[in-house]
């Protein structure tokens, strides 16, 4: 059951209060015919609403950093559990693309911190102890 195809979007307000620190994002694309928007399936609205809820847990900015695949996995899992049907990560990206221009997001600052702290690899002590319970 793929394909929330985007033909029947209704116009939405720009979600500017949702995310902090975003440099730019595009408003949702309007459907060319406003009458088709009235026929937008209830389920599509529900999916979008759930997605926006999911973003409260998984901030958009994380979709640009090193954790992005796991964050996307988290969003996908959230939707999957909400609707009890499989979702694919690319489906989720498509959905997000309706609301946000992901390329315009600034990279996550936390990442810089992580990647600048070079340290030598070391094995935790527990590895050297025999028969860890």
CB of 96 to other proteins, least distance (A): 14
Which residue is it, tokens 């694309």? Answer: 29
Q: Does 89 bind other proteins (CB under 8 A)?
A: yes
* The binder of other proteins chosen from 27, 52, 83, 101 (CB under 8 A): 52
In angstroms, rounded to a whole number, what is the distance separating the alpha carbons of residues 102 and 24? 9
43 burial class (0-12, 13-18, 19+ CB within 10 angstroms)?
A: exposed
> Phi/psi zone of residue 110: left (φ > 0), alpha (ψ -120 to 50 degrees), beta?
alpha
Q: Does 29 bind other proteins (CB under 8 A)?
A: no
Count of residues in contact with other proteins, rule CB under 8 A = 50
Give me the residues that bind other proteins (CB under 8 A), please: 12-13, 15, 17-19, 42, 45-46, 48-49, 52-59, 62, 66-74, 76-78, 81-82, 86, 88-90, 110, 114-115, 117-121, 123-124, 127-128
């Amino acid at each position: 059951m793929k394909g929330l195809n985007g033909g029947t979007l209704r116009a939405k307000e720009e979600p500017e209060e949702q995310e902090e620190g975003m440099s730019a994002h595009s408003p949702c694309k309007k459907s060319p015919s406003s009458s088709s928007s009235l026929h937008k399936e209830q389920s599509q609205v529900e999916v979008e609403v759930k997605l926006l809820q999911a973003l409260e847990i998984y901030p958009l900015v994380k979709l640009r950093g090193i954790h992005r695949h796991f964050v996307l996995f988290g969003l996908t899992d959230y939707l999957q559990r909400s609707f009890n049907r499989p979702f694919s990560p690319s489906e989720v990206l498509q959905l997000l693309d309706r609301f946000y221009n992901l390329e315009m997001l600034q990279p996550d600052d936390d990442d810089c911190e992580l990647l600048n702290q070079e340290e030598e690899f070391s094995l935790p002590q527990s590895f050297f102890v025999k028969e860890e319970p």
